[in-house]
A and B are shown apart, each in its own frame.
Chain A
């Protein structure tokens, strides 16, 4: 009998809200600390590249409240070098000391650790540690670092090329040659930061014996963190319990494992005192992973009808100074290359992709990873094909998309799209925004009321719920892929479910409860979710890359199904019926067709836990719980379309978003309210990335905007009302039919806005092939274009 779905699909209000709204959320800096807690402060390198000549801590040590100063050499006795163990042809492994020894490789790299009685004293101490440096030449951007003779970031990495990968489909050359037209373009994307409102931090509390620590960290990956700590500190996992308190946003930046986490844990063991470290915003911007510093050189071959016959990519990503844990630096270069074909039927494809070391902050997994930039490239090409041929760019997309009838489809790089709605999503979005009407009204010069008006489309696929094969395909041998859950019906009949994930604002306590309640046939109010604690939850890959609904949901469904089967057997035994004739719904089990005679979970649990005289069915043991694991397929592919309609002020270059439409397909929706919230947040991050956000390094590797005064983020006045619609194409490959949704907003928004601005300025002859599109850039481009026109007129 099919499960009845009471809760999945419903807008259930969040369980997380009440305490957060009362100011009772316990983020890491909010946790109560014992009186003997010490506070850490990290001395950071002011140089992009330098030799550490000497460190003099005497003045710091003389300061009231400073207890100790540890240098890189001291920390190296406690923490092994951090190595991202990527196993991939073309990747060069290298280590990083948790605190630098001998040489620093980016501004912000940790050089010494001050241990103090208070956070204020720790910051005093930072100012008093005297470090003598011998500055060395630095290579701080992709263009410099790839030049012959550029300063090397690591002596063992020739040409700063940490990773180089390539792929070519069979008969690529022949396929490409079939396109009679070729467009070449270089797309450049600015470097951005994730900027969760809560910076990072951790608190390690040793037990009274000094043998074990409870390690609180603002992280997305408790299990991976615990494994990394155990390895680098060379202690058994049993000595470390990682607990994730409330997390103030992560967006991937907290899915990396950072040097400070090793130092805090190591010093808690070493000092046998509680150790606390809270990052400030400058540190956050200088040292938390950066992303999206990419160059895409693309060539696309197509025929006179706009049908694409071949696509070629050369991609360079700026990896920064070190390959980070746990993803290494291959995530962006492999992601951008593997996702470029998107929803399109492009079978002749070749890429060459590179991760380049530079003397800048390491890069890593920020929401969307390389997808916002690779879709900026492919969607920018679709528009260019349209402009070249005089065919509408929406029509070009429709001519190249994989139609729904051809699904499942395996794309050029071997990724399977099981279900989806590429064409339907685009058509619905075009209708909603009245695309045809807009085009009919749009004058050739795009100028209406002193503003250039344009419309931009992004049709995209969103990688979500990556399983083990997906990580192996990208060289990540230490990344498991699965997640897991334990579902228990407790002796009172209430349900507790433990899941390997960690909550950081996604509403897991609510959505996972919906999934378990339906899968088990329980009452929602009776289901409690526990996560983010390695002592309570089973192992898993944790929360990033739009995976929790797919992997956590899948694991919980499987574990719930096992428990439900046992409930059926016990209920059948108690009701003297066959187990297969038992129906479970609303926390009760009854014989099919006789709902009035049933047993609630409490009665069944009494039997399972031997608290009555019934006895268990033959072959069943005590207890009423099950553990299961779920490893999804290669990836679980969601899809969506974003359309932005913009006005570019012809005078001051400011971009106003006048309409914004999203049609999204993440398979079966668990909670529409939360799904829409994810789309809102992601889209606005994408608006920031497209129009204002960029980390700017100067040639010496100084980050010019390491404060929120200088690194602009969108505010409530920068964003339009978002019109969101859904199509549900449940996955047939993934348990539960769920697909991920966390990253779609940002993936769609960046290309849609860039294309809209490009469309607005197309009449002027401006070529938009980069982001962010700040007013200063647009004013310059418009001025140059007008000057060209004047020159053309006067020379003709």
Chain B
């Protein structure tokens, strides 16, 4: 049996400890050890962005990190974004703008958008498109994702604090 290491992370505000193989990828740790299936594997090489989560507030490819290598980090996944009932304003904007079709890439786009708006609460269209090149979507042609991010910017300006 392969060696195992103890990995402790903070995930969506809660401590999570598991004993896993050192080669276990963060995305597999989240998905198969913790059952957080929102981040998806799309290319295994950090290109497509479907596995994007926030590590200590920065967007990162969970398919390119070993879980053990981010020991002690604070991880935010899509599962921590919404309240029990209400969606986060960014999620609500994606819904209203039809910013998702199959939904496989969507958690990654949400993570990218959370990071973008945390750094730059008023991005223009070029800045939005530049940030969204972080992720690939094959269904929407990005048109409605860009609209959704614009709408999220407006909604979060109108109700600051809702994003916290």
Partner of B44, one of A280, A505, A676, A716: A280
Chain B: minimal CB distance from A749 (Å): 10
Partner of B38, one of A22, A504, A715: A22
Bound Cα distance A716, B129 (Å): 5
Q: A17-B95, A120-B21, A505-B102 are in contact. Are A716 and B146 (CB under 8 A)?
A: yes
Contact with B along A11-30 (1 / 0, CB 8 A): 00110111011111111011
Q: Which 6 pairs show the lowest CB-CB distances between chains A and B?
A: A23-B38, A248-B104, A505-B102, A20-B103, A684-B141, A680-B141
Residues of A within 8 A of B94 (CB): 17, 21
* Contact indicator A506/B142 (Cβ below 8 Å): no
Residues of A within 8 A of B40 (CB): 27, 29-30, 197-198, 248
* Contact indicator B45/A680 (Cβ below 8 Å): no
Bound Cα distance A709, B63 (Å): 14
Task: Decide if A249 is an interface residue (CB 8 Å cutoff).
Answer: yes
Per the 8 Å Cβ criterion, residues 672-709 of A in contact with B are 673-674, 676-677, 680-685, 707-709
Contact with A along B109-150 (1 / 0, CB 8 A): 010000000000000000011101100111111111110000
Task: Decide if A335 is an interface residue (CB 8 Å cutoff).
Answer: no
Task: Decide if A713 is an interface residue (CB 8 Å cutoff).
Answer: yes
Task: Decide if B4 is an interface residue (CB 8 Å cutoff).
Answer: no
Task: Decide if A576 is an interface residue (CB 8 Å cutoff).
Answer: no
Task: Of the listed stretches B54-62, B74-82, B151-159, name the one at the interface; the rest are far from the partner chain.
Answer: B74-82
Task: Decide if A719 is an interface residue (CB 8 Å cutoff).
Answer: yes
Q: A197-B50, A684-B142, A719-B141 are in contact. Are A249 and B102 (CB under 8 A)?
A: yes
Bound Cα distance A120, B33 (Å): 14
Bound Cα distance A683, B143 (Å): 11
Q: A18-B95, A504-B102, A506-B101 are in contact. Are A23 and B48 (CB under 8 A)?
A: no
Q: A17-B95, A26-B37 are in contact. Are A64 and B2 (CB under 8 A)?
A: yes
A-B contact pairs, 6 of them (CB 8 A): A18-B95, A21-B87, A197-B137, A682-B141, A707-B43, A722-B143
Bound Cα distance A248, B37 (Å): 14
By DSSP majority rule, is chain A's interface helix, strand, loop, or mixed? loop
Interface residues of B, count at CB 8 A = 55
Partner of A281, one of B42, B87, B140: B42
* Contact indicator B143/A721 (Cβ below 8 Å): yes
Partner of A505, one of B21, B91, B103, B110: B103
Q: Which of A23, A26, A676 has the most C-beta atoms of chain B within 10 angstroms of its own C-beta?
A: A23
* Contact indicator A681/B138 (Cβ below 8 Å): yes
* Contact indicator B103/A681 (Cβ below 8 Å): no
Count A-B pairs with CB separation below 8 Å.
Answer: 175
Per the 8 Å Cβ criterion, residues 710-757 of A in contact with B are 713-717, 719, 721-722, 745
Bound Cα distance A108, B53 (Å): 32
Task: Decide if B18 is an interface residue (CB 8 Å cutoff).
Answer: no
Q: A120-B21, A680-B144, A716-B133 are in contact. Are A21 and B43 (CB under 8 A)?
A: no
* Contact indicator B45/A249 (Cβ below 8 Å): no
Please name the residue on chain A nearest to B97 by beta carbon: A673
Bound Cα distance A462, B164 (Å): 47
Partner of A681, one of B82, B101, B106, B132: B101
Bound Cα distance A777, B5 (Å): 51
* Contact indicator B138/A24 (Cβ below 8 Å): no
Bound Cα distance A27, B96 (Å): 23
Residues of B within 8 A of A681 (CB): 101, 138-141
Q: Which of B2, B47, B133 has the most C-beta atoms of chain A within 10 angstroms of its own C-beta?
A: B47
Q: Which of A22, A249, A506 has the most C-beta atoms of chain B within 10 angstroms of its own C-beta?
A: A22
Residues of A within 8 A of B43 (CB): 281, 707-708
Chain B: minimal CB distance from A421 (Å): 23
* Contact indicator B45/A197 (Cβ below 8 Å): no
Please name the residue on chain B nearest to A11 by beta carbon: B98
Chain B: minimal CB distance from A197 (Å): 4
Task: Decide if A386 is an interface residue (CB 8 Å cutoff).
Answer: no
Contact with B along A610-652 (1 / 0, CB 8 A): 0000000000000000000000000000000000000000000
* Contact indicator B95/A716 (Cβ below 8 Å): no
Task: Decide if A469 is an interface residue (CB 8 Å cutoff).
Answer: no
Chain B: minimal CB distance from A17 (Å): 4
Task: Decide if A66 is an interface residue (CB 8 Å cutoff).
Answer: no
* Contact indicator A246/B103 (Cβ below 8 Å): yes
| 18 additional contacts (CB under 8 A) given A14-B95, A22-B82, A713-B136 | A18-B87, A20-B106, A22-B78, A23-B78, A29-B31, A196-B102, A246-B103, A246-B104, A248-B102, A281-B45, A504-B102, A505-B139, A685-B138, A708-B45, A715-B132, A719-B141, A719-B142, A745-B141
* Contact indicator A708/B106 (Cβ below 8 Å): no
Chain B: minimal CB distance from A675 (Å): 10
Residues of A within 8 A of B105 (CB): 197, 248
Chain B: minimal CB distance from A82 (Å): 27
Task: Decide if A452 is an interface residue (CB 8 Å cutoff).
Answer: no
Chain A: minimal CB distance from B68 (Å): 14
* Contact indicator B79/A23 (Cβ below 8 Å): yes
Task: Decide if B162 is an interface residue (CB 8 Å cutoff).
Answer: no
Q: A23-B78, A246-B103 are in contact. Are A717 and B143 (CB under 8 A)?
A: no
